[in-house]
Amino acid sequence: MTYAALFLAIAMVLPLITGQIPEIGQMLSPMHIPVLLCGFMCGWPWGLAVGLIAAPLRSAVFGMPVMFPSAVAMAFELAAYGTVSGILYRILPRKKWAVYAALISAMIIGRLVWGLAQAVIAGLTHSEFTMAAFLAGAVTKAVPGIIMHIVLIPVLVLVMEREGLVSD
């Protein structure tokens, strides 16, 4: 529980560092890092909880991301990240490739969940969410963050494993 609270706190603060230039903050997706790490380190229930809470709480406290529709859609996306990374990390063998497999799977599923949430919100608000908008938001604008996550998160997970900080 303590580590989950720490990851939630990091999710609240990390965007303050990258968010000074909004375009950079959105490209790097800083809230994704602590949620993914929480799934790996604390397991899927805590990853789910931190993911579900982080964006709406940050919206309520700091006003960013905007609560509706951004923080609502992000809550589902981040919950998927924390859940999938936690489940796959525990069922795959403890090999380096498995960390990458769990991470990339979580990132793909999380982005699909975000797209589904955006589509549902668009339907409820009688607005439009096109495939082009999905690809731009989930892939094109996110490439720097995707690369950073694929490089940074496995290194952090492997260090946490070596230090015995990952729960089984």
Residue 123 within a domain: yes
Residue 167 within a domain: no
Residue 168 within a domain: no
CATH at 155:
1.10.1760.20
pTM, full prediction:
0.92
17 token code pair: 């560092």
Question: 2-6, 144-148, 164-168: lowest mean pLDDT where?
Answer: 164-168
Residue 99 within a domain: yes
Residue 67 within a domain: yes
How many folded domains does the chain comprise? 1
Residue 137 within a domain: yes
30 token code pair: 């800083």
- Give tens-digit pLDDT for 88-136: 999 999 899 999 999 999 999 999 999 999 999 999 999 888 888 888 8
Sign of CA dihedral 107, 47, 4, 155: negative
| Euclidean distance between CA atoms 122 and 124, whole angstroms | 5
- Which domain, by its residues, includes 71? 2-162
